[in-house]
Chains A and B, each alone.
Chain A
Amino acid sequence: MADMRDPIETGCPDPFQYMHPMMRRNFGLWAYHEDPRPGVLLHVAKNGDKLWTIKAGTQRILDLFTLRTLCQIADDYSDGFIRFTIRSNPEFFVTEESRVEPLIEKLEEAGFIVGGTKNSVTTLSHTQGWLHCDIPGTDASGVVKSMMDELIDEFKVSEMPNRVHITTSCCQINCGGQGDIAINVQHTKPPKINHDLVANVCERPTVVARCPVAAIRPAMVNGKPSLEVDEKKCICCGACFPPCPPMQINDAEHTKLAIWVGGNHSNARGKPTFQKLVAAGIPNNPPRWPEATAIVKRILAEYKAGARDWERVGEWIERIGWPRFFELVELPFTKYHIDNWRGARKSLNASAHIRF
């Protein structure tokens, strides 16, 4: 170990060294912004400096050829600077209006999609999926590619009532976010346990503690220490799978997709909201997941037609009511839509407020 190099623990780097000079110069000194066209923001500083930002969609999982193409475009058109948004869209910067259109043309010529600003359907945020996750019920990049192929026209324009954030998540428990529309894995059967492996692979008390409904208990199976699941209690969430890989939750047939709507991180108008279940039992159908995309498109079409300006998906439904929503999008309302988790009473209608 003597020749090992000690790490330099610098943590998060200072961004000013990588920041476009006009942003550096006007840090904290911006006056206002305008939206000259979809995919373009114009920020005006208090001293009159103008900065146009051009936003593009990419495949997110970037090969180095694509990264270098982005760099080349930034060198030729954007003073050599790029910023990435929280939804992985690269942003390019120009300081003269005449340079906006050539940059857009170049980005489109290179296969990138300019858009994603203001009230558009911006890039789906996604997780790792089959490409790299250790517990995925589905792929993420493939779902996003398939859906963006269908939603691309709404990325390129800003014609929705307000912005639409769509997210995907390839397990039920972890890293996907909240979205106006979320497409998340929903398992429908308890884990299948390989009892030969549990004792050697899993720290059993940890696995027992991980279950949200206390459905797992230690047991001797075929003379070996293992775990068993009370399948009547099990909610099929998959929380036991990461700490205990022999408790396989993913299943080619029984791992499904569910669609949730109304998640919103902004404080604008109402307080931030979590997403609510609207559809489940959707087949996990690679390579293009057409059933999930069809439902998403139906929801978007009704939202676009029915919501008022500035209403996010959740606000639109709050106004028209859930019965009308289910009618419009032609989805069934089932017993599974009625929450029974802790705090569920707060989601029940304790009033005579009914729409007819």
Chain B
Amino acid sequence: MAINKHHTPMLDQLESGPWPSFISGIKRLRDEHPEERINKMTNDLLGQLEHSYETRKGYWKGGTVSVFQYGGGIIPRFSEVGHAFPESKEFHTLRVQPPAGNHYSTDMLRQMADSWEKYGSGLVTFHGQTGNIMFIGTDTEQTQHFFDEINDYGWDLGGAGPCVRTAMSCVGAARCEMSCTNEQKAHRLLVNNFTDDVHRPALPYKFKFKVSGCGNDCQNAVERADFAVIGTWRDDMNVNQDEFKAYVGRKGRQHVIDNIITRCPTNALSLNDDDSLEVNNKDCVRCMHCLNVVPKALHPGDDRGVTILIGGKRTLKIGDLMGTVVVPFKKLDTEEDWEEIVELAEEIIDFWAENALEHERCGEMIERIGLVNFLEGVGVEVDPNMVNNPRESSYIRMDGWDEEAVKWFDRQAEAS
């Protein structure tokens, strides 16, 4: 049956130009897909989108849709102009958790495509800003059917609403020589420990885990995760002097001085007269710059672990916050180590759930109560790695100084 195609003069202008066009893709679903349901649904979607382009307004409203026994994982969308575009008047997105590191076989992608074709609009994104596979566009009834089908072959919903959200991790050890930890294990252990908190939103607000295998932080964990895990090392970095000298030979000493030696943020590098590299590892902050420039010669050390930063988030409500160091270094070798990082996450989420205001991110709570109160709440000792510099204000009552100093020396003695 022929459908009445909406006139879309504005969207049509997004079909020209060399970059692939999402409008052309949606039109193919409208014009060429064998399923009439998909033709009609995408036709009305285009109609509503054109209406948005004309009026510069959005016309989707949220609501309450989930699947049996879950409270979240779906982004419900009901059209405010559904009378004009009835075939897409319900257009919910399912957030589905990707495998850690975003690896797919084509067999699996095709199986998901087949299921989505049966129940959805035929639009999908790998991945949304939180890291979910976004299956965009289905109605309330089909939401359950689609979920049942993909859940049977191994896929589960991610988070939406005030809950633990879908986590993210970099490609890491699977394909990167700078990987300092098992990113995928950290990702899955952490988020899968909180499956109940992912599916049943009952926290003050969202809580995100992100894992990057080194300080390059390809997952934007420090900026965007409530719980950021960043790979690092604490022994000397590995230097292959032969490779480094070969690099100097190829590029010249001036290039090496301008691009490596003088770019070290803590002046920890020196170029020797024989073109080898001298590293003052005590001053090195593991920023990754020199390793990035000469990945063939410079690598992380062998005593690897992670730094954990807490409290990163975007603007709402008090402004953007970076995560800040709560654990400067944590080994992740033994099963006990891995249990400890999960326990720390549990402590933090419990304390935050108990003490945060409604709609307050973990970093905002820390901003409100102060880092020291937070650390005491979750049982972590203070450490000079947690600050850029000690306090500059004298407005603080310090009559507990002697006891605190003893604690420091006791901890030092214990550690040595």
Using CB atoms and an 8 Å cutoff, list the residues of chain A in contact with chain B.
Answer: 1, 4-15, 17-20, 23-24, 26-28, 30-34, 43, 51, 53, 57-68, 70-72, 74-75, 80-86, 88, 90, 111-113, 125, 127-139, 141-142, 145-146, 148-149, 152, 172-178, 206, 209-210, 212, 237, 239, 242, 245, 250-252, 255, 263, 265-270, 272, 274, 284, 286-288, 308-310, 341-343
Flag if B292 contacts A268 (CB, 8 Å): yes
Nearest chain A CB to B11 CB, angstrom units: 7
Bound Cα distance from A60 to B23, whole angstroms: 11
Cβ of B400 within 8 Å of any chain A Cβ, yes or no, is no
Cβ of B87 within 8 Å of any chain A Cβ, yes or no, is no
Which of B191, B222, B293 is the one whose CB lies under 8 Å from A11? B191
Cβ of B218 within 8 Å of any chain A Cβ, yes or no, is yes
Beyond A11-B188, A18-B103, list 15 extra A-B contacts (CB 8 Å): A9-B199, A33-B177, A64-B29, A66-B20, A70-B109, A81-B105, A128-B128, A139-B52, A173-B315, A174-B315, A178-B223, A239-B316, A239-B317, A272-B217, A287-B10
Measured between beta carbons, the chain B residues less than 8 angstroms from A239 are 316-317
Cβ of B257 within 8 Å of any chain A Cβ, yes or no, is no
Nearest chain B CB to A150 CB, angstrom units: 8
Cβ of B99 within 8 Å of any chain A Cβ, yes or no, is yes
Measured between beta carbons, the chain B residues less than 8 angstroms from A5 are 68, 148
Bound Cα distance from A255 to B175, whole angstroms: 43
Flag if B105 contacts A80 (CB, 8 Å): yes
**Chain B window 100-136, contacts with chain A (Cβ cutoff 8 Å), 1 for yes, 0 for no:** 1111111111100100110000111111111100001
Which of B100, B173, B188, B359 is the one whose CB lies under 8 Å from A209? B359
Measured between beta carbons, the chain B residues less than 8 angstroms from A125 are 129
Flag if B123 contacts A130 (CB, 8 Å): no
Nearest B residue to A165 via CB reads B220
Q: Among B53-61, B268-276, B342-350, which stretch is in contact with chain A? A: B53-61
Where chain A touches its partner, the secondary structure class is loop
Flag if B106 contacts A80 (CB, 8 Å): yes
Flag if B103 contacts A19 (CB, 8 Å): yes
How many interface residues does B have (CB within 8 Å)? 134
Nearest chain A CB to B310 CB, angstrom units: 15
Flag if B22 contacts A71 (CB, 8 Å): no
Which of A13, A64, A88, A287 is the one whose CB lies under 8 Å from B99? A13
Nearest B residue to A178 via CB reads B223
Measured between beta carbons, the chain A residues less than 8 angstroms from B314 are 173-177
Nearest chain B CB to A275 CB, angstrom units: 9
Which of A61, A173, A284 is the one whose CB lies under 8 Å from B22? A61
- Of the listed residues A58, A127, A152, A237, the one surrounded by the most CB atoms of chain B closer than 10 A to its CB is A58
Nearest chain A CB to B77 CB, angstrom units: 6
Jot down 7 A-B pairs with beta carbons below 8 A, ordered by A.
A15-B99, A51-B175, A83-B104, A88-B125, A145-B14, A239-B316, A309-B258
Which of B28, B170, B188, B230 is the one whose CB lies under 8 Å from A12? B188
Flag if A266 contacts B224 (CB, 8 Å): no
Which of B18, B62, B109 is the one whose CB lies under 8 Å from A149? B18
Flag if A86 contacts B195 (CB, 8 Å): no
Q: Among B149-157, B326-334, B378-386, B405-413, which stretch is in contact with chain A? A: B149-157
- Of the listed residues A152, A174, A267, the one surrounded by the most CB atoms of chain B closer than 10 A to its CB is A267
Flag if A175 contacts B122 (CB, 8 Å): no
Flag if A75 contacts B106 (CB, 8 Å): yes
Flag if B217 contacts A265 (CB, 8 Å): yes
Cβ of B375 within 8 Å of any chain A Cβ, yes or no, is no
5 A-B pairs with the lowest CB-CB distances in the bound complex, closest first? A149-B17, A267-B215, A63-B25, A15-B99, A130-B52
Flag if A173 contacts B316 (CB, 8 Å): yes
Which of A18, A65, A85, A206 is the one whose CB lies under 8 Å from B105? A18
- Of the listed residues B75, B117, B220, the one surrounded by the most CB atoms of chain A closer than 10 A to its CB is B220
Cβ of B252 within 8 Å of any chain A Cβ, yes or no, is no
Cβ of B216 within 8 Å of any chain A Cβ, yes or no, is yes
Nearest B residue to A145 via CB reads B14
Bound Cα distance from A329 to B52, whole angstroms: 32
Bound Cα distance from A8 to B130, whole angstroms: 22
Known: A141-B22, A245-B61. A81 touches B103 (CB 8 A): yes
Bound Cα distance from A73 to B359, whole angstroms: 45
Flag if B32 contacts A270 (CB, 8 Å): no
